[in-house]
Amino acid sequence: MKIVVLDGFTLNPGDLSWDQLDELGELTVYDRTKKEETIDRIAQAEAIFTNKVIIDARVIKASPNLKYIGVLATGYNVVDLNAAKKAGIVVTNIPAYSTDSVAQMVFAHILNITQRVGLHANRVSDGDWSKSIDFSFSLSPQVELKGKTLGVIGFGKIGRKVAELGHAFGMNVIFQNRSVKKDVPEYFKQCSLKEVLENSDVLSINCPLTDENAGFINKLSLSLMKKTAILINTGRGPLINEQDLADALNSGKLAAAGLDVLSTEPPKQDNPLITAKNCFITPHIAWATKEARLRLMHIATSNLKAFQEGVPDNIVNS
């Protein structure tokens, strides 16, 4: 079987091995693939893997040998599922590989905003503490999380893990989810979106992006939040109206934001959030711990092996 990985660099920048996947066929790995290179690179392939390279109806139609598409991520909007199904191509994804890593990043942002460890450490290195007349040198308010309310939007695996971490910090946890969650501890309270927005001291967005919720964090929803609230987004960038969030931060209507995702990645230089007040942005790395990428590699290999054995797993276009 001819296997092509179209954009393998983010999964494996050199610290992992492709050997397990290589054992399943004749493997070719490209670090990155431009749109105009896609069809030529997969012309003879029977199985391909993509993370962000678009596999649309045009690409599928031009790839008569293609039998399998493995998405190297949980989200699979980069593939035209209907076109793949009509062509008899199986499409799989990688579920639940980054739960702990993403939840950890949520709290990395929360703790950065509430404690500003990096800011203080840098100023100590610059000699500012040595010049201080006081034994305790503080550049920002220090905020204790215990007793604060953590709101979680989207109570899937990641949202639930975020909630568990919040509970461990002594936070009161409320959450909003599209469906009613019945298998949750009594100290997690399901509420309406309005209630979560109004009552959260920290709001973590962990829901998938759909046509219905695109841009739901906007001027109206932000106006419901406390001025002292912190907004965290490790879900998808388009869940937020970025200009509205920048306006809220710059005008003091929201205290701070920690974001690992933006609507366009990499962002345009004029993205208003890059220069917004108290906005801390990481470049979509919550998923990318080595441990999470090892799990992703293992599941990707297992998915293809299961397909070869006639018992495909993690299908998203059945």
Q: In terms of CATH architecture, what is 99-281?
A: 3-Layer(aba) Sandwich (3.40)
DSSP type of residue 113: H
Give yes or no for residue 301 having a pLDDT over 90: yes
Which residue from 181, 141, 144 is spatially nearest to 163, judged by alpha carbons?
Answer: 181
User: How many residues make up the chain in this entry?
Assistant: 318
For residue 258, what are the β-bridge partners? 232, 280
Distance CA 5, CA 8 (A): 6
Reference 200, options 177, 173, 180; nearest CA is 173
pLDDT at 229 over 90: yes
Name 175's bridge partners: 152, 190
Alpha carbon of 89 to those of 29, 39, 81, 286, 297: distances in Å? 21, 16, 9, 30, 21
Whether residue 277 is predicted with pLDDT greater than 90 in this model: the reply is yes
User: What is the Cα–Cα distance from 93 to 49, expressed in whole angstroms?
Assistant: 10
Q: Where are the beta strands (DSSP E) in the chain?
A: 2-5, 26-29, 47-50, 68-71, 90-92, 149-153, 172-176, 188-190, 202-205, 230-233, 256-259, 279-281
Tell me 282's DSSP state: -
pLDDT of residue 213: 95
57-74, pLDDT tens digit by residue? 999 999 999 999 999 999
Q: How many Cβ atoms sit within 10 Å of the Cβ of residue 181?
A: 14
Summarised one tens digit per residue, pLDDT across range 168-184 is 999 999 999 999 999 99
Where residue 176 falls (left for φ over 0; alpha for ψ -120 to 50; beta otherwise) is beta
pLDDT one-digit tens code per residue, 139-164: 999 999 999 999 999 999 999 999 99
End-to-end, the C-alpha distance of the chain in Å comes to 22
pLDDT digits 0-9 by tens, 92-138: 999 999 999 999 999 999 999 999 999 999 999 999 999 999 999 99
CATH 3.40.50.720 assigned to 2-95+290-308: yes
Catalytic center residues = 236, 265, 284
Per residue in 10-43, pLDDT tens? 999 999 999 999 999 999 999 999 999 999 999 9
Q: Of all residues in the chain, what percent are helix, strand and coil, respectively (each to 5)? A: 30, 15, 50
pLDDT of residue 318: 87
Delimiting residues of CATH 3.40.50.720 domain(s) in the chain: 2-95+290-308, 99-281
The arithmetic mean of pLDDT across residues 75-102, rounded, is 96
Q: In what side-by-side order are the strands of the sheet with 149-153? A: 188-190, 172-176, 149-153, 202-205, 230-233, 256-259, 279-281
Cα separation of 222 and 254, whole Å?
A: 8
